[in-house]
Structure 1
Amino acid sequence: MKITIAGHVFSARFEEALSPKTCASFRRHMPFDSQVVHVRWSGEAMWIPLGKKDFEVAYEEATTYPTPGQILLFPQGKSETEILIAYGSTRFASKAGTLAGNHFATITSDLDKLCEIGMSTMWEGAKPILFEDD
């Protein structure tokens, strides 16, 4: 998969063995075009708020502590549907408390640039993001 954030292209892989249903659901929504903003409660990460969007998946390989480059989908529940992209130390949370999201993809290139873009969302605001097949 190819992910473009603010004009920079990252390589990523789907985590089919860990979260097959989430991967299949997300693929059906590709290309996926949105904006990414800095997280409020979770630490060093960016997120895509998706409101009531339903990917029709339950929890699988859900984690609260993603490592840099890991991409999580929170499928709905005590918070809105959202995608989280960790670029540093992260504990996934919301105003409703700690969350766990399905680890369905991992960015495999340019983690230093991911960190730079993540920090810029904190100071400069939203950035465009596009998920596409290679």
Structure 2
Amino acid sequence: MKLKVYAGPYEFDAWLECEKAPKTSEAFRKLLPYEGDIVHVRWSGEGVWIPLGDYTFGVDYENHTSHPAPGHIILYPGGISETEILLAYGGVDFSSKMGQLAGNHFITITSNLDKLPELGNAVLWKGAHKIRFEAA
């Protein structure tokens, strides 16, 4: 399923990974359009995240990774750390203060990948930015 992702002043095309992460994709699809705030990660490297506290998507691990590639968006469904969505813009070793984590890779950015470092640096140096996901 095609998506549009608007983050700060940037617009990205994206793909919802329905075959690789069907349960996570379906849970997120039901929330569209989805809006939140991204802040820079604390332990994971070059990424931004949406902290979701104790919100539950009702999914377990599927298509999970600790090292999402730039443009990969993962969902950590909660457990030893809070629920979160993370967008990698560079090298990521997905972790929290509790240690290494794994998240479900469920969205892939497919356009304007060269703008991801600009977005990440803007969040790092200027603070939180709005993000919006919608069906394309």
TM over 0.5: yes
Distance 1:111 1:25 in 2: 25
- The equivalent of 2:14 in structure 1 is 12
Query: Residue 122 of structure 2 corresponds to which residue in structure 1?
Result: 120
Q: Compute the displacement of 1:115 (Å).
A: 1.1
Q: Aligned pair 1:36/2:42, yes or no?
A: no
Question: How many Å separate the matches in 2 of 1:41 and 1:108?
Answer: 26
RMSD (Å), alpha carbons: 0.6
With the length of structure 2 as denominator, give the TM-score of the two structures.
0.97
Percent pairwise identity: 52
Distance in 2, matches of 1:81 and 1:40, equals 15
TM-score where L is the length of structure 1: 0.98
In 2, distance between residues paired with 1:118 and 1:35?
13
Matched, 1:96 2:98: yes
* Helix, strand or coil at the partner of 1:21: helix
Runs of 4+ in 1 over 2 A off after TM superposition: none
Indicate whether 1:67 and 2:63 are aligned. Answer: no
> Which ranges of structure 1 fall in alignment gaps of 5 or more residues?
none
- What is the aligned length? 134
Secondary structure (helix, strand or coil) at the match of 2:20 reads coil
Per-residue deviation at 1:9? 1.1
Q: Partner of 2:111 in structure 1?
A: 109
Report the 3-state secondary structure (helix = DSSP H, G, I; strand = E; otherwise coil) of the residue aligned with 1:13. Answer: strand
AA of the residue aligned to 1:13: W
